[in-house]
Structure 1
Amino acid sequence: MKRIVPFLLVVLVLMTVYISWVIYPKLDLISGFSAKSVASGHFIDNRPLELIEAQDNDIKLIDWATNTIEEAGKFATSSVYGLKERKAIYREGLGATLINDDFDETQPYLVPKRTESQKGLFPYGNTKPQDSLFSNVDYGNLNRAVANAFDASNEKVKRSRAVLVVYKDRIIAEKYAPGFNEKSKILGWSMTKSITGAMYGVLAQQGKYDIYKPAPIMQWQNDKRKNISTHNLLQMNSGLEWVEDYATICDATRMLFQAEDMGKVQLEKPLAHLPNTHWNYSSGTTNLLSKILRSQFNSHQEYLDFWYTNLIDKIGMHSMVIETDMVGNYVGSSYGWATARDWAKFGLLYLHQGNWNGEQILSSEWVIYTKTPTATSNGRYGAQFWLNAGGYFPDVPRDMYYCSGYQGQMVAVIPSKDMVIVRMGLKGEEGFDFNNFLKSIIATVQK
Structure 2
Amino acid sequence: MKKLFRFLTVLIIIIILAAVVYVGIYFPPVMTGMAAKTMCSCLFVAERSEQSIRDKELQVFPGLSSMDMLIEDASVSASFLGTTRKAIYRKGLGCILLSERTEEEVRSQQPVLSTAPNVNRDSVAWPLGDDLTAQGAITGVQYDSIKNAVDKAFFDKDPENPIFTHAVVVVYDGKIIAEKYADGFDKQSRMMGWSMTKSITNALIGILVKEGKLTVEAGAPVPEWEDDIRKNITLNNLLQATTGLAWDESYFNPSADFHTMFIHRDDKAAYAASMKQKVDPGTFFQYSSGSTNILSRIIRQTVGDDQYYKFPYEKLFFKVGMSRAIMEPDASGTFVASSYSYASARDWARFGLLYLNDGVVQGERILPEGWVKYSTTPSAVAPRGEYGAQVWLNHGAPNDPENRLYPTLPQDTFLFDGFEHNFVVVVPSKKLVVVRLGVTHNKNFDLEALVRGIIAGIQ
Counterpart CA distance in 2 for 1:68 and 1:11 is 39
- Larger deviation, residues 426-435 vs 253-262: 426-435
> What is residue 348 of structure 2 aligned with on the other side?
343
- Aligned-residue offset at 1:69: 1.1
Counterpart CA distance in 1 for 2:37 and 2:233 is 33
> What is residue 101 of structure 2 aligned with on the other side?
102
Counterpart CA distance in 2 for 1:121 and 1:328 is 35
Counterpart CA distance in 2 for 1:66 and 1:15 is 27
- Aligned-residue offset at 1:12: 9.4
The RMSD of aligned alpha carbons is 2.1
Counterpart CA distance in 2 for 1:23 and 1:435 is 40
Counterpart CA distance in 1 for 2:11 and 2:284 is 46
Counterpart CA distance in 2 for 1:198 and 1:368 is 13
- Aligned-residue offset at 1:135: 2.0
- Aligned-residue offset at 1:186: 0.3
Equivalent positions of 1:239-254 (< 5 A) are 239-249=244-254, 250-254=256-260
> What is residue 372 of structure 2 aligned with on the other side?
367
Would you say the 8 A contact 1:132–1:172 is kept in 2? no
Answering whether residue 208 of structure 2 is matched by residue 203 of structure 1, we say yes
Answering whether residue 415 of structure 2 is matched by residue 402 of structure 1, we say yes
Counterpart CA distance in 1 for 2:15 and 2:214 is 57
For 1:276-320, what per-residue CA distance to the aligned partner results, in whole angstroms no more than 9, with x for missing partners?
A: 1000000000000001111112x3121111111111111111101
Q: What are the ranges of 5 or more consecutive residues in structure 1 without an aligned counterpart?
A: 1-8
Counterpart CA distance in 1 for 2:258 and 2:282 is 21
Would you say the 8 A contact 2:100–2:264 is kept in 1? no
> What is residue 290 of structure 1 aligned with on the other side?
296
Would you say the 8 A contact 2:99–2:263 is kept in 1? no
> What is residue 6 of structure 2 aligned with on the other side?
none
For 1:338-386, what per-residue CA distance to the aligned partner results, in whole angstroms no more than 9, with x for missing partners?
A: 0000011000011111111111011230111000000111210000000
Give the letter for the 1:46 counterpart: E
Answering whether residue 154 of structure 2 is matched by residue 150 of structure 1, we say yes
> What is residue 77 of structure 2 aligned with on the other side?
77
For 1:131-155, what per-residue CA distance to the aligned partner results, in whole angstroms no more than 9, with x for missing partners?
A: 6312211111111100001135966
> What is residue 179 of structure 2 aligned with on the other side?
174
Counterpart CA distance in 1 for 2:84 and 2:341 is 25
Would you say the 8 A contact 2:101–2:331 is kept in 1? no
Equivalent positions of 1:12-161 (< 5 A) are 17-61=18-62, 62-71=64-73, 74-81=74-81, 83-100=82-99, 102-105=101-104, 106-116=107-117, 119=121, 120-129=124-133, 132-152=136-156, 156-161=161-166
- Aligned-residue offset at 1:24: 3.8
Counterpart CA distance in 2 for 1:248 and 1:374 is 27
Counterpart CA distance in 2 for 1:322 and 1:218 is 24
Check 1:117–1:411 CA distance in 2 against 1; reply closer, same or farther (3 A cut).
farther
Counterpart CA distance in 1 for 2:37 and 2:103 is 17
- Larger deviation, residues 61-70 vs 177-186: 61-70
- Compute the TM-score of the two structures, normalised by the length of structure 1: 0.93
Counterpart CA distance in 2 for 1:426 and 1:352 is 29
- Aligned-residue offset at 1:11: 9.9
Number of aligned residue pairs: 435
Check 1:229–1:10 CA distance in 2 against 1; reply closer, same or farther (3 A cut).
closer
- Aligned-residue offset at 1:35: 0.2
- Compute the TM-score of the two structures, normalised by the length of structure 2: 0.90
Counterpart CA distance in 2 for 1:100 and 1:367 is 37
Identity, % of aligned pairs? 36
- Aligned-residue offset at 1:18: 3.3
> What is residue 5 of structure 1 aligned with on the other side?
none
Check 1:266–1:13 CA distance in 2 against 1; reply closer, same or farther (3 A cut).
closer
Would you say the 8 A contact 1:117–1:314 is kept in 2? no
Q: What are the ranges of 5 or more consecutive residues in structure 2 without an aligned counterpart?
A: 1-9, 397-403
- Aligned-residue offset at 1:63: 3.1
Give the match's secondary structure for 1:41. helix
Give the match's secondary structure for 2:76. strand
Answering whether residue 163 of structure 2 is matched by residue 164 of structure 1, we say no
- Aligned-residue offset at 1:14: 7.4
- Aligned-residue offset at 1:435: 1.5
> What is residue 278 of structure 2 aligned with on the other side?
272
Would you say the 8 A contact 1:163–1:424 is kept in 2? yes
Counterpart CA distance in 2 for 1:431 and 1:309 is 38
Would you say the 8 A contact 1:220–1:226 is kept in 2? yes
Would you say the 8 A contact 1:35–1:78 is kept in 2? yes
Give the letter for the 2:29 counterpart: D
Would you say the 8 A contact 1:125–1:316 is kept in 2? yes
- Aligned-residue offset at 1:392: 1.6
> What is residue 434 of structure 1 aligned with on the other side?
447
Check 1:234–1:428 CA distance in 2 against 1; reply closer, same or farther (3 A cut).
farther
Answering whether residue 383 of structure 2 is matched by residue 383 of structure 1, we say no
